[in-house]
């Protein structure tokens, strides 16, 4: 009467307990943090800060795509508008950097609530198109609005003094400030993924009708994760504005939305460390291939195509499969 073996076949059972995986992740975080603390003494801090900002941006995006199953093609809207608001707040209103970043992040959160509430009514490709349309609206608004500086953007944004005391002018000071923000953001994302809420999110991603049939009001969870993702993308964008002392149309353009998709897929969507690795790869590529001029995009595109063809799970996804550990 009973078919199949009574015990789980080897290899497909999950040998790692949740706590075991958590310990491994903690160890990786600790090593990465140690490297990040030492890195500015060996590498150019502004380059490192760019990697950090994009790591946070891509991780925020991955929260939505990899764990919420929602492909937004308009995440530049939150990244870029937070960048503008933070830049404006720091330059025109003379706010301290932490307040400017907070304000920028808040603006992204508000946008996330409005756009998210409308976009989650659609599924799949339609969801992606709606988010893209909203992002394009933000782009054209940024092009026309008086305070964004149009084609010039908001330039020479003051880095200011943290809490009005510590000058963030020197790159090394700013680096540790940015590192603190990004590590905080990444830890928050990690917690969201590994929370009771995160479990429900994964269930909805895996099989939405089933989650609904179990009594979960799926749209509320989707909206919640959308807003979280938009807010954290905003945090990355606002921080970036201070690093480069610039908020420009590049930050809200659709190519920025595309770039974050690329980073996430290259690193490994649905993995904790994938977006971070992806950001390091893509930003490094952009930096070191800068000499090729317009060809950077072509090289980037080629690498992306090869990446998708050869390892669809992304760099970290492949590693996770080899190690048989969730990463």
Residues that bind other proteins (CB under 8 A): 1-4, 6-9, 12-15, 18-19, 191-192, 194-200, 202-203, 206-207, 209-218, 220-221, 224, 228
**In whole angstroms, how close is the CB of 134 to other proteins at the nearest point?**
24
**In whole angstroms, how close is the CB of 256 to other proteins at the nearest point?**
26
Residues 217 and 203: their CA atoms lie apart, in Å, by 12
> Which CB, 1 or 294, lies closer to other proteins?
1
> Which CB, 154 or 211, lies closer to other proteins?
211
Residues 221 and 128: their CA atoms lie apart, in Å, by 18
Residues with Cβ within 8 Å of 327's Cβ and at least 6 positions away in sequence, in order, are: 24, 25, 28, 268, 271, 272, 273, 274, 316, 319, 320
Q: Left if phi > 0, otherwise alpha if psi is -120 to 50, otherwise beta: which for 122?
A: beta
**In whole angstroms, how close is the CB of 63 to other proteins at the nearest point?**
10
**In whole angstroms, how close is the CB of 43 to other proteins at the nearest point?**
34
Q: Degrees (nearest 5) of the Cα angle 28, 30, 31?
A: 65
> Which CB, 42 or 322, lies closer to other proteins?
322
Residues 154 and 133: their CA atoms lie apart, in Å, by 24
Would you state the torsion angle of the CA atoms of residues 63, 67, 69, 72, taken in this order, to the nearest 10 degrees? 0
Q: Which of 64, 117, 86, 25 is nearest to 260 (CA)?
A: 64
**In whole angstroms, how close is the CB of 66 to other proteins at the nearest point?**
11
**In whole angstroms, how close is the CB of 56 to other proteins at the nearest point?**
17
**In whole angstroms, how close is the CB of 264 to other proteins at the nearest point?**
17
> Which CB, 40 or 69, lies closer to other proteins?
69
Task: Look up residue 248 and give its two tokens.
Answer: 């420009």
Residues with Cβ within 8 Å of 28's Cβ and at least 6 positions away in sequence, in order, are: 273, 327
As a whole number of angstroms, the longest Cα–Cα distance in the chain is 76
């Amino acid at each position: 009467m009973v078919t199949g073996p009574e015990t789980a076949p080897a290899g497909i059972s999950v040998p790692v307990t949740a706590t075991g995986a958590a310990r491994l992740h903690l160890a990786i975080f600790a090593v990465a943090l140690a490297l990040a603390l030492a890195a500015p003494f060996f590498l150019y801090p502004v380059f490192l800060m760019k990697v950090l900002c994009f790591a946070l941006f891509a991780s925020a995006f991955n929260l939505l795509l990899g764990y919420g199953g929602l492909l937004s093609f308009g995440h530049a809207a939150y990244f870029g508008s937070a960048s503008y608001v933070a830049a404006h707040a720091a330059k025109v209103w003379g706010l301290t950097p932490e307040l400017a970043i907070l304000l920028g992040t808040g603006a992204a959160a508000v946008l996330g609530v409005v756009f998210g509430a409308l976009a989650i009514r659609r599924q799949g490709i339609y969801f992606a198109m709606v988010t893209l349309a909203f992002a394009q609206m933000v782009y054209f608004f940024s092009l026309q609005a008086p305070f964004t500086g149009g084609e010039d953007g908001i330039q020479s944004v003051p880095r200011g003094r943290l809490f009005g005391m510590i000058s963030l002018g020197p790159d090394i000071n700013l680096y540790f400030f940015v590192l603190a923000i990004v590590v905080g953001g990444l830890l928050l994302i990690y917690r969201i993924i590994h929370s009771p809420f995160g479990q429900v999110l994964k269930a909805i991603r895996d099989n939405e009708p089933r989650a609904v049939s179990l009594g979960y009001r799926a749209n509320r969870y989707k909206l919640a994760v959308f807003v979280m993702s938009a807010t954290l993308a905003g945090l990355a964008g606002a921080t970036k504005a201070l690093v480069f002392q610039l908020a420009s149309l590049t930050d809200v353009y659709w190519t920025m939305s595309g770039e974050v998709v690329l980073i996430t897929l290259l690193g490994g969507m649905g993995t904790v460390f994938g977006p971070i690795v992806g950001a390091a790869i893509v930003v490094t590529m952009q930096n070191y291939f800068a000499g090729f001029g317009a060809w950077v995009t072509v090289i980037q595109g080629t690498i992306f195509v090869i990446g998708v063809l050869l390892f669809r799970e992304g760099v970290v996804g492949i590693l996770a499969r080899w190690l048989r550990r969730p990463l």
